[in-house]
Structure 1
Amino acid sequence: MAALACSGAAEAAPSFTAEETVFFSRTSSMSVQSVVTVPGGFRMYVTSGPYRVLSATCTDQVAWGLESGIRLTTSVVANDVSSITYLSVVASTAVGGGWRMYYVGIDAGGLYRVLSATSTDGLAWGKEQGTRLQNNGGQGFIGSLSGFSVSNTERRLYYVADRDGLNNASRYAVFVATSGDGGLNFGPGTLALSANAYAVSATTMTSGKTRIYYTSPLTGSTTASQVLSATASDGLSFTSESDVRLSTTASVSGFRGLVVLRSTDSFRWRMYTDYIIGGTTETFISHALTRTPVVESFSPAAVDKGRTGVPYTLTGEIFSPTPTVSFVLGASTYNATTVVRADDTSLSGVFDTLNRYQGVYNVAVVNADGRPGFLSNALEIRLPPGSVTMLDNLFRPTKGGTTKATVELFEAGEVTARLYTVDGNLVATLFQGTMPAGQTQFTWNGRTPAGSVVASGVYLLNVVGPNLNTTERVVVVK
Structure 2
Amino acid sequence: MTLPQRWVKEPGARVEGSRDLDRSKVQAPCVVRAPGGGFRLFYTAVGPGKPFANCQGYILSAASTDGLYFTAEPGIRIAPDPAVMQMSLRALAPSIAALPEGGWRLYFEARGPADMPTAIMSAVSSDQLDWRIEPGVRFTAPGGTGAPRFLPLDGGGGRLFCFESVYAGGDPKSGPRLGTRVISASTGDGLAFLREPGVRLADKYDVIDSAGITAAEVVPGAPWRMVFSAWQDVPEGAVVPSHPSVDVGAATTDFAVASIAADMAGYRSRILMASSNEGLNWTRDRIIIEGEGYGGGGIDAVHAEDMSLIELDDGRWRMYYAACDAHGVWRVASAISA
Q: TM-score, normalised by structure 1?
A: 0.52
Larger Rg: 1
- Structure 2: runs of 5+ lacking an equivalent: 18-22, 47-55, 204-208, 236-265
Q: Deviations over 1:229-284 (max 9, x none)?
A: 1122322222212x321111123221242112223421x22111122222x33112
- Report the secondary structure of 1:130's partner residue: coil
CA contact 2:30–2:93 (8 Å) conserved in 1: no
Q: What is the deviation of 1:124?
A: 0.5
Superposed, 1:329-478 pairs within 5 Å as none
Pairing partner for 2:324 from 276, 292, 309 = 276
The number of aligned residues is: 269
Superposed, 1:7-406 pairs within 5 Å as 14-26=5-17, 27-39=23-35, 40-49=37-46, 50-78=56-84, 79-93=86-100, 95=101, 97-108=102-113, 110-136=116-142, 140-151=143-154, 153-164=156-167, 165-166=170-171, 171-181=179-189, 183-189=190-196, 190-195=198-203, 196=209, 197-205=213-221, 207=222, 209-218=223-232, 223-241=267-285, 243-250=286-293, 251=296, 252-266=301-315, 268-278=316-326, 280-291=327-338
Q: Using the alignment, how far apart are the partners of 2:8 and 2:14 within structure 1?
A: 16
How well do the aligned residues superpose, as a CA RMSD in angstroms? 2.3
Q: Using the alignment, how far apart are the partners of 2:291 and 2:24 within structure 1?
A: 18
Q: Using the alignment, how far apart are the partners of 2:330 and 2:141 within structure 1?
A: 29
Mark the CA change 1:80 to 1:218 in structure 2 (over 3 Å): closer, same or farther: closer
Q: What is the deviation of 1:218?
A: 4.5
Q: Using the alignment, how far apart are the partners of 2:25 and 2:233 within structure 1?
A: 27
CA contact 1:23–1:286 (8 Å) conserved in 2: yes
Q: What is the deviation of 1:225?
A: 2.9
- The corresponding residue for 2:238 is none
Letter matched to residue 141 of structure 1: G
- Report the secondary structure of 1:20's partner residue: coil
Q: Deviations over 1:264-315 (max 9, x none)?
A: 421x22111122222x331121101122xxxxxxxxxxxxxxxxxxxxxxxx
Runs of 4+ in structure 1 off by over 4 angstroms are 163-170, 218-222
What is the percentage of aligned positions where both structures have the same residue? 23
CA contact 2:308–2:321 (8 Å) conserved in 1: yes
Q: Deviations over 1:296-335 (max 9, x none)?
A: xxxxxxxxxxxxxxxxxxxxxxxxxxxxxxxxxxxxxxxx
Mark the CA change 1:65 to 1:169 in structure 2 (over 3 Å): closer, same or farther: farther
State the structure with bigger RCO (CA 8 A, min sep 6), 1 or 2. 2
Q: TM-score, normalised by structure 2?
A: 0.73
Q: Using the alignment, how far apart are the partners of 1:141 and 1:224 within structure 2?
A: 23
CA contact 1:198–1:224 (8 Å) conserved in 2: no
CA contact 1:21–1:62 (8 Å) conserved in 2: no
Q: Using the alignment, how far apart are the partners of 1:232 and 1:170 within structure 2?
A: 26
CA contact 1:274–1:286 (8 Å) conserved in 2: yes
Letter matched to residue 246 of structure 1: I
Q: What is the deviation of 1:32?
A: 3.3
CA contact 1:231–1:239 (8 Å) conserved in 2: yes
The structure whose residues are more often helix, as a share, is 2
CA contact 2:89–2:112 (8 Å) conserved in 1: yes
Letter matched to residue 198 of structure 1: T
The structure whose residues are more often strand, as a share, is 1
- The corresponding residue for 1:458 is none
Q: Deviations over 1:4-38 (max 9, x none)?
A: xxxxxxxx952211111312335432113311122
Q: Using the alignment, how far apart are the partners of 1:29 and 1:175 within structure 2?
A: 27
